């Protein structure tokens, strides 16, 4: 039987595709106007930090005002050796601009067109306009909280990864393999590669999310791999079932207690397993884990087990059902002290987002 969630997802996809027909008529005009604006020079504000050989292009869309954790992220980036370049997809207030100046190298403001890939493209264009050729660019956006762990080795992992292009999670979708687009680490061989430059030059921007994902998130990884550049994720949850098999019953019960489900049948299975015991219980739990991972991602479905196994330090702010369920499960584990708590400011933001 086809689930209601799947039907709704397909209807949403078809709706996005239908709206895409209108977007095709308007996007080209909007992009041409934006291209003229970018070529003339986007408004920029210098911050108090010096430029560095490593640049962090941090994309923001916070029209209601900057969050405190945004400033904390900028501080973390500079502590890791990056000069933060903030690209804002909304006009900043004078107050927010001044708050940012103390923790960044430079601020650029642009029209909100093209989602994250529009901001990424224009931020990279600005670097070329300014004659800045860094050895490394870290691209990230504010759709994630970084970091949900008091201590994280994310930057160390990115530094140790030999691939020219690295990110957090390398997703598999059928025959496609792509990095999740909220974070990319790019080294000079990628930044100066003809295929990289051509991708951004030829990218058709759109405000249709369906096409942003396919042209941007999936298209970028596919283009770079086709050009011979190495693309890698630094958090691999593929061995999560094997790891869980080695844990005791208490760990498995906590994994189920702090699991996040949007599938009614899987949620019912988990509830039954939490209320049962017996000689086949461990086997049934592990079968359940495999069933979940065949449909969903480990980091969002089993945040307790995945975080302890991989050290994955991020949480998504998205309003979609998966992200909401994930946040709620994560908060339950933190409040029960079964997962380490993040900073007080970050924890407050997570609690507030769904209220």
> What single-letter DSSP state applies at residue 134?
-
CA 208 to chain centre: 18
pLDDT digit string, tens, across residues 106-131: 999 999 999 999 999 999 999 999 99
pTM for this structure?
0.92
- Residue 181 contacts residue 219 (beta carbons within 8 Å): no
Tell me what the mean pLDDT of segment 339-343 comes to.
96
pLDDT digit string, tens, across residues 217-266: 999 999 999 999 999 999 999 999 999 999 999 999 999 999 999 999 99
Tell me what the mean pLDDT of segment 26-38 comes to.
95
d(CA 267, CA 283): 17
Residue 25: predicted pLDDT: 79
Percent of the chain with pLDDT over 90: 90
Strand 170-173, strand 176-179: pairing: antiparallel
Structure tokens at 325: 């369920």
pLDDT digit string, tens, across residues 177-186: 999 999 999 9
For the cut 50, the answer to whether the pLDDT of residue 330 exceeds it is yes
Strand 183-187, strand 106-109: pairing: unpaired
In the beta sheet, which residues pair with residue 86?
A: 58, 107
Select the CATH number that applies to the domain covering 19-233 from these four: 3.30.70, 3.90.550, 3.10.280, 1.10.10. Answer: 3.90.550
Percent of the chain with pLDDT over 70: 94
- Across the chain, what does the average pLDDT equal? 94
d(CA 85, CA 56): 6
For the cut 90, the answer to whether the pLDDT of residue 95 exceeds it is yes
For the cut 80, the answer to whether the pLDDT of residue 19 exceeds it is no
The region of weakest confidence among 2-11, 156-165, 270-279 is 2-11
Residue 1: predicted pLDDT: 44
Instruction: List, by residue range, all CATH 3.90.550 domains of the chain.
Output: 19-233
pLDDT digit string, tens, across residues 39-71: 999 999 999 999 999 999 999 999 999 999 999
pLDDT digit string, tens, across residues 167-203: 999 998 888 899 999 999 999 999 999 999 999 999 9
For the cut 90, the answer to whether the pLDDT of residue 9 exceeds it is no
Structure tokens at 18: 């239908």
In the beta sheet, which residues pair with residue 109?
A: 88
């Amino acid at each position: 039987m086809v689930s209601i969630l799947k039907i709704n997802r397909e209807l949403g996809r078809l709706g996005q595709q239908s709206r895409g027909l209108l977007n095709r008529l308007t996007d080209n005009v909007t992009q041409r106007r934006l291209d003229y604006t970018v070529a003339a020079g986007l408004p920029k504000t210098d911050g108090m930090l010096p430029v560095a050989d490593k640049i962090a292009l941090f994309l923001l869309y916070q029209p209601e005002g900057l969050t405190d954790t945004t400033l904390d992220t900028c501080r973390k980036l500079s502590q890791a050796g990056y000069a933060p370049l903030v690209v804002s997809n909304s006009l900043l207030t004078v107050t927010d601009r001044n708050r940012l100046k103390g923790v960044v190298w430079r601020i650029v403001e642009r029209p909100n067109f093209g989602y994250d890939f529009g901001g990424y493209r224009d931020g990279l264009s600005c670097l070329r306009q300014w004659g800045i050729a860094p050895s490394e660019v870290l691209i990230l956006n504010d759709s994630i909280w970084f970091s949900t762990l008091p201590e994280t080795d994310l930057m160390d992992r990115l530094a140790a990864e030999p691939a020219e292009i690295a990110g957090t999670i390398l997703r598999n979708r059928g025959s496609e393999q792509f990095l999740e687009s909220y974070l990319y680490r790019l080294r000079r061989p990628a930044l100066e590669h003809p295929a990289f430059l051509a991708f951004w030059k030829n990218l058709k921007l759109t405000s249709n999310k369906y096409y942003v994902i396919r042209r941007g998130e999936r298209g970028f990884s596919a283009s770079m791999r086709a050009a011979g550049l190495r693309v890698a994720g630094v958090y691999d949850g593929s061995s999560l079932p094997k790891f869980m098999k080695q844990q005791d019953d208490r760990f498995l019960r906590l994994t189920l207690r702090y699991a996040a489900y949007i599938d009614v049948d899987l949620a019912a299975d988990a509830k039954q397993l939490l209320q049962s015991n017996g000689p086949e219980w461990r086997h049934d739990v592990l079968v359940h884990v495999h069933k979940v991972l065949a449909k969903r991602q480990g980091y969002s479905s089993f945040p307790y087990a995945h975080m302890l196994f991989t050290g994955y330090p991020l949480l998504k702010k998205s309003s979609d059902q998966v992200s909401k369920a994930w946040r709620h499960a994560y908060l339950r584990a933190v409040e029960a002290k079964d997962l380490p708590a993040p900073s007080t400011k970050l924890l407050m933001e997570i609690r507030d987002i769904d209220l």
